[in-house]
Amino acid sequence: MKNMNIKKILVGGAAGALMLGALAVPALADSLSINFESPTYTVGNINGQDGWTALGSAGSGCAVYDEGVVANTYGYASFGGQSFRLSDAVTSGCFGDQAFAKPLVNAVGEVDSTAGTFSTGTLQRHFEMQFDIASTVPGAQQPGMHTSVSPDRGDGSRMSYLRFEDGTAGLDVFFDDVQGTTNPANFVETQVAAGLDRTVPHTVKLTMDLLDGPSNDVVKVWIDGTLVHTGTSWENYYRYDPEAIAEQSPRIVKTVLFRESGAANAADAGKGFLIDNLSTLSGPILVGPPTTKDQCKNGGWKTFNNPTFRNQGQCVEFVEHQKDKDKHDSDRHEGNNDDGHHDDGEGHHSSQQPED
Ligand SMILES: [Ca+2]
Ligand SMILES: [Ca+2]
């Protein structure tokens, strides 16, 4: 009888999550949650901790970057006792010696993706990364402070790109993708957030669907829960740009690269940005959620994995509940796709990868 009760509670919990529209993790998904807490992580260099590599800051790379696990003395409650900190006090043009998160076992890629020296596991088509970012100096701008964060296989083979800058009005976020099939590659930069409040952490999520064939990958960026941009990956850079001739193919993704390049700002030493509550996921491309009851009928409910349903009735119930919810949220708009603020040309239609 005890087991029966437990089962009931679990079923109730799953149904509850479904009603709230929470994302169900699809079968076969591989995921990691990294909060930099003790005892898994200790304060100091992150190289070698829990599968991370950061050869430069460990002293065996191009430069000794200013990064590592720090005690949370910054007052961000959601960051717990420890976070990962990095600054642009030291930068370089190198890749493989910068900070790479603990990798997923099952990489994400398409039929043409190459793994280099890395293991692929069970190749998946959908990647997600999410993390919180905050300033170590919430009360003031750190002029010039910047870092880039990229889905990567582990050696600087970036398949997408976000850059965070400490701007005059708060944190600015930029996204770069490769559009078209030109040679050299057409890197296009889009500002996806401007002037984010420097006194609170911000949650950043990026998803990638890597579809077989060129010019079709789908990359989406969310800031604080709002979808701010939909673009594509860097697959066509690796497919068509002679700079990638040694390995002319898109790359698998299984980790996150935190990189400091471009102009160094010595004043940011010991400061910069904090990263926390990092999660990564690889799995099947998400199907759903259903938006009409008809999509649930004639076995349609079985085709969804975001979320999954046990039967048609549960699928229909979900659609009805979502409609009520959408009515409630109808004031909210889609987000800021404006790239008009960033007009200095840096990264726009560049033939090279972004410098910082
Ligand atoms: Ca933490
Ligand atoms: Ca593709």
pLDDT digits (tens, 9 = 90+) for 1-58: 334 343 333 333 333 334 344 444 555 679 999 999 999 999 999 999 999 999 999 9
Distance 285 CA to ligand 2 centre (A): 13
Which residue type occupies 233? Answer: S
Which helix (DSSP H) or strand (DSSP E) does residue 207 occupy?
Answer: strand 202-209
Q: Which ligand is nearest to the CA of 78?
A: 1
Cα(215) to ligand 2 centroid in Å equals 6
What is the number of the ligand closest to the CA of 85? 1
Nearest ligand to the CA of 236 is 2
Cα gap 59→12, rounded to integer Å = 52
Q: Tell me if 220 is assigned to some domain.
A: yes
Q: Which ligand is nearest to the CA of 277?
A: 1
Average pLDDT over residues 101-118: 98
Question: How confident is the model at residue 346, as a pLDDT?
Answer: 37
- Of the pLDDT bands very low, low, confident and very high (cuts 50, 70, 90), residue 330 is low
Give exposure, 112-151, as e/b (b: 16+ Cβ within 10 Å): bbbbeebebbebbbbbbbbbbbbbbeeeebbebbbbbbbb
Tell me which H or E stretch contains 326: helix 312-329
Tally Cβ neighbours within 10 Å of residue 297.
13
336: confidence class by pLDDT, cuts 50, 70, 90: very low
Question: Residue 3: its pLDDT value, please?
Answer: 41
**Residue 120 counted as domain residue:** yes
The rounded Å distance from CA 235 to ligand 1 centre is: 33
Encoding tokens for residue 346? 């840096």
Q: 289: cis peptide before it, omega within 30°?
A: yes
Please tell me the pTM assigned to this model.
0.84
Is residue 67 scored above 90 in pLDDT? yes
Question: What's the domain range around 123?
Answer: 30-283
16 within domain boundaries: no
Predicted pLDDT at 5: 40
- How much is the average pLDDT of 257-282? 98
User: Is 92 among the domain residues?
Assistant: yes
What is the pLDDT, as a whole number, of residue 112?
97
SS3 288: coil
pLDDT at residue 25 in the model: 53
Residue 316 binned pLDDT confidence (cut-offs 50, 70, 90) = very high
Q: How far is the CA of 69 from the centre of ligand 1 (A)?
A: 9
Domain for residue 171, yes or no? Answer: yes
Angstrom distance (rounded) from CA 355 to CA 262: 6
Q: Report pLDDT digits (tens) over 292-303.
A: 999 999 999 999
Contact predicate 264/254, CB 8 Å: no
Domains contained in the chain, number: 1
Q: Measured at the alpha carbon of residue 20, what is the angle toward residues 78 and 30, in degrees to the nearest 5?
A: 65
**Ligand 2 centroid to residue 131 C-alpha, Å:** 25
pLDDT for residue 329 is more than 90:
no
Q: What is the mean pLDDT of the chain?
A: 89
Distance 191 CA to ligand 1 centre (A): 28
Instruction: Please determine, for residue 255, whether its predicted confidence score (pLDDT) is greater than 50.
Output: yes
Whole-number Å distance, alpha carbon 210 to ligand 2 midpoint, is 5
Q: Within a domain: residue 3?
A: no
Residue 118 lies in a domain: yes
**What pLDDT score does 209 carry?**
98
For residue 30, what pLDDT is reported? 94
**pLDDT of the residue at 324:** 86
Class of residue 293 by CB neighbours under 10 A (exposed 0-12, middle 13-18, buried 19+): middle
- State the Cα–Cα distance between residues 148 and 206, nearest whole angstrom: 13
Counting Cα atoms < 13 Å in the Cβ hemisphere of 340 gives 3
**321 belongs to a structural domain:** no
Structure confidence at residue 26 (pLDDT): 54
The whole-number pLDDT of residue 331 equals 55
CATH number at residue 134: 2.60.120.200
